[in-house]
With several copies, the nearest count.
Chain A
Amino acid sequence: MDAPRVVLGVIGADCHSVGNKILDAFFSEAGFHVVNLGVMVSQDEFLDAAVESDAGAILVSSLYGHGLIDCEGLRQKAVERGLDRILLYAGGNLVVGKTAFEEVERKFKAMGFDRVFPPQVDLAAVAELLRKDLRSRKN
């Protein structure tokens, strides 16, 4: 069986590259095929890569605070590009300022993200969820 394919990147004008390198190493190690776009990735670049690689999920990072502005409309664009069933995950310091995570989660789910994660998330648990979500999308 092929390794499940995911696209990874840090959205917008965000340069935080450390977490991105760790996520790449972690998900690769965990058996995913990771297409890592690095930092400063536009919505279009995410979607292009997802189309090209036939990925099942896009893992969006945003650390620098502009997550709300940068992620707005990504779900709609994905649908327009025919990526109806693609999973959208978001993680990092998604909004400006220390904010209750529930509120952040609500906002990002309202924008069409399937799952939202705080910076301290346990990556093993994420890999678990991702595998599960990918399987159920397949059916």
Chain B
Amino acid sequence: MTSNRLDWKDFLAQRRAVLDAWPTGRDVADIEDGLRYQRTIPEDKNFAKVMSRAKASGRTLIQPRAGVALIDDHIRLLRYLETEGTADLLPTTIDAYTRQNRYEEAARGIEKSMTAGTSLLNGFPAVNHGRDGCRKVTEAVRKPVQVRHGTPDARLLAEISLAGGFTSYEGGGISYNIPYAKKVEIGECLRNWQYVDRLAGYYEENGLAVNREPFGPLTGTLVPPFISHTIAILEGLLALEQGVKSLTLGYGQGGNVLQDLAALASLRELADAYFREAGFEDYDLTLVFHQWMGGFPEDEAQAFSVIATGAFVAAAARVEKTIVKSPHEAMGIPTKEANAAGLKATRQVLSMMADQRICADNAVIEREKDLIRREVGALMSAVRTASGDDLVQGIVRAFAGGLLDVPFAPSVFNRGKVLPVRDNEGYIRLFAKGSLPLGDDITSFHKERLQERSKAEGRPVTFQMVTDDIYAISKGKLIGRPK
């Protein structure tokens, strides 16, 4: 099963072109330099190690999103988040130009931010700041730092940031394409991510733990658990194939507590089962739960409550990490104070719930876990059939045939025929299943649950109901009921 590992010679050949894309690529030409540098990083600043420790101790770590245009400002921001915000793990969120490999525009954003005296970029342009800029950042803080982005072709960013002392790298060939891009061909993207995973695997081979985290929530908008789970597991398999060892799979809060708890429990179980079945044993799996990734309420008090419900689920599910939103979410990139407020609110719930065992032995959770298991099973076996012995090809074919389909995604390579909607208790179900290869038992369960809601609301299930559900949480409800 490691047969698809990228050949090292091919990797090195590709590497030259990758590093040539922007002048800062030259600084990382010596691949050994990155290894040497990473060896100097203490254990408690290594993301993989810290995640692993959280798993052993049953703690849930908290991590914000944050990134600004200029190095010193970015350092100040991260320091504030680790002291005032008590963040356990730090991010470096990359700006949207860098994500599209538009380094000239990023350069202009840096300049404009310098003259404006405030960040005009929505993230940290790590490629432009280069290896030494990254090292300045990772050295300036006490906690492990992860690159968080949304970059379809993230090879140069990976080279620079790993050599720059980051010890975790978010993303994957599906999850950083379908929700984040419009015209990026899936096969090409997956191959570029094989490069990233191969690079991380190379660090691992040299005894340096690098954490990899596929982006679980996808479009963040009513994604049924089985869709994001299948993609997370596929990206996990692709990463393991390239030698990745420390793997964090993610899931975004759906809003129904029992469905979310079932989703998190089944993600761990299913991933382990599929990885082992594929012959992988020597890996370290952890989970990340994203607080509500869809539209937030504008009102900050209400936003705090959305954050708290997310924290509540994270605590009850005992995930290793939760990504924290801020009370500014609906309005714009948070100030450092708002970001820290989100962290502190989350910490309070996690601490208060740390020793409690709620929702244990719940029959509804078991029902939902079983459903998710069957749904993921259906998609995985369809992808497998489409794959032959090349998972990349299988994924490409699956998207083309609508066997994989992400709701509301911008990519033209995604069919976009699947429409989710909430049932009468707020569980995310399928209204339109598109070409997803689900059996009748499954689809009729979804249908029944939706009929219940339709009856309760006295209206048919239509796109209007979907729209209502998209808005619901931002308007203070879970379910977008009429009136």
A–B interface present (Cβ within 8 A): yes
Cα–Cα, bound, A117→B72 (Å): 33
The stretch of B81-89, B326-334, B362-370, B396-404 in contact with A is: B326-334
Report A50-83 CB contacts with B as 1/0, cut-off 8 Å.
Answer: 0000000000000011101100000000000000
Q: Within the complex, which residue of B109, B180, B219 is in contact with A18, where a contact is CB–CB below 8 Å?
A: B219
A27 to B409, alpha carbons, bound, how many Å?
A: 20
| Residue in A16, A21, A26, A38 with the greatest tally of chain B CB atoms within 10 Å | A21
A66–B333 CA distance with the chains assembled, in angstroms: 11
User: Given contacts A66-B121, A98-B328, are A15 and B333 in contact (CB under 8 A)?
Assistant: no
Which residue of B has the minimal Cβ distance to A14? Answer: B96
Residues of B within 8 A of A20 (CB): 410
Nearest CB of chain A from residue B284's CB, rounded to whole Å: 31
Nearest chain B CB to A8's CB is how many angstroms away? Answer: 14
Interchain CB contact under 8 A, A98 and B96:
no
User: In the complex, what's the smallest C-beta–C-beta distance from B283 to chain A, in angstroms?
Assistant: 30
Knowing A15-B410, A22-B470, A64-B96 are in contact, say whether A96-B122 is a contact too (CB < 8 A).
yes
Please give the distance in Å from A86's CB to the nearest CB on chain B. Answer: 24
Cα–Cα, bound, A116→B280 (Å): 54
Report the minimal beta-carbon distance from B187 to chain A, rounded to whole angstroms.
Answer: 20
Contact partner, B122, options A22, A26, A66, Cβ 8 Å? A66
Contact B408–A21 (Cβ < 8 Å): yes
8 Å CB interface, A1-49 against B: 12-18, 20-22, 25-26, 38-40
Contact A98 B331, beta carbon cutoff 8 Å: yes
Residues 164-188 of B at the A interface (beta carbon under 8 Å)? 179-183
B438 at the interface (CB under 8 A from A): no
Residues of A contacting B295 in the complex (Cβ-Cβ under 8 angstroms) = 18
Q: Give, as a whole number of angstroms, the nearest-CB distance from B302 to chain A.
A: 12
Q: Which of B108, B109, B219, B332 has the most CB of A within 10 A?
A: B332
Q: Which of B294, B328, B333 counts the most A-chain CB atoms under 10 A from its CB?
A: B333
Does B467 interact with chain A (Cβ within 8 Å)?
yes
Q: Which of A14, A25, A98 has the largest number of chain B CB atoms within 10 A?
A: A98
Q: How far in angstroms is the closest Cβ of chain A from B304?
A: 15
- One of B33-41, B97-105, B134-142 at the interface: B97-105
- State whether A66 touches B96 (Cβ < 8 A): yes
CB distance from B446 to the nearest CB of A (A): 21
- Please name all residues of chain B whose beta carbon is closer than 8 Å to the beta carbon of A25 when the two chains form the complex: 463, 467
Q: Which of A40, A69, A98 contacts B332 (CB 8 A)?
A: A98
Instruction: For B119, give its contact among A39, A96, A98, A99 (CB under 8 Å).
Output: A96
B interface residues with partner A (beta carbon < 8 Å) = 96-97, 99-100, 102, 105, 108-109, 112, 118-122, 150, 179-183, 219, 221, 294-295, 298, 328, 330-335, 338, 408-410, 463, 467, 470, 474
Sorting the interface of chain A by its residue count into under 10, 10 to 19, 20 to 34 or 35 or more gives 20 to 34
A20→B102 CA distance, assembly (Å) = 23
Instruction: Report which of B119, B121, B410, B467 forms a contact with A40, defined as CB distance below 8 A.
Output: B410
Chain B residue contacts of A120, Cβ below 8 A: 298, 330, 474
A95 to B180, CA, bound (A): 19
Q: Is the CB of A40 within 8 A of B333?
A: no
Known: A17-B408, A17-B409, A98-B335. 20 other contacts (CB 8 A): A13-B99, A13-B100, A13-B102, A15-B181, A16-B410, A18-B470, A22-B470, A25-B467, A65-B122, A65-B332, A68-B120, A69-B112, A95-B332, A96-B120, A96-B332, A96-B333, A98-B328, A98-B338, A99-B332, A119-B298
Residues of chain A within 8 A of B294, CB atoms compared: 18
Query: Which residues of chain B are within 8 angstroms of A68 by Cβ–Cβ distance?
Result: 120
**Closest chain B CB from A17 CB (angstroms):** 4
The answer to whether B410 touches A65 (Cβ under 8 A) is no
Residues in chain B near residue A98, CB distance under 8 A: 328, 331-332, 334-335, 338
Q: List 7 A-B contacts (CB under 8 A).
A: A13-B99, A16-B410, A17-B410, A65-B121, A97-B332, A119-B298, A120-B330
B232 to chain A, nearest CB (A): 19
Return B106 CB to nearest CB of chain A, in Å.
10
Whose C-beta in chain B lies nearest to the C-beta of A21?
Answer: B408
Docked Cα-Cα span, A18 to B471, in Å, equals 10
Contacts of B179 in A (CB 8 A): 15, 17
Q: When chains A and B are docked, how far (Å) is the Cα of A69 from the Cα of B408? A: 26
A22-B470, A39-B182, A66-B121 as given contacts; A13 in contact with B97, CB under 8 Å? yes
> How far, in angstroms, from A40 to B411 measured CA to CA in the complex?
10
How far does the alpha carbon of A16 sit from the alpha carbon of B410 in the complex, in Å?
8
Given contacts A39-B410, A69-B112, are A15 and B332 in contact (CB under 8 A)?
A: no
CB distance from B72 to the nearest CB of A (A): 18
Are the CB atoms of B120 and A69 closer together than 8 Å? yes
Complex Cα spacing A38 to B330, Å:
21
Chain A residue contacts of B105, Cβ below 8 A: 13, 69
Q: Are A69 and B181 in contact (CB under 8 A)?
A: no
Q: For residue B219, which residue of chain A has the nearest CB?
A: A18
B334–A22 contact, CB under 8 A?
no
A16 to B179, CA, bound (A): 8
Question: Which residues of chain A come closer than 8 Å to B333, judged between CB atoms?
Answer: 65, 96-97
**Which of A15, A21, A64, A95 lies at the interface centre, i.e. has the most chain B CB atoms within 10 A of its CB?**
A15
> In the complex, which residue of chain B has the Cβ closest to the Cβ of A26?
B467
* In the bound complex, CA of A40 to CA of B181 (Å): 8
How many Å lie between the Cα of A97 and that of B333 in the bound state?
A: 4
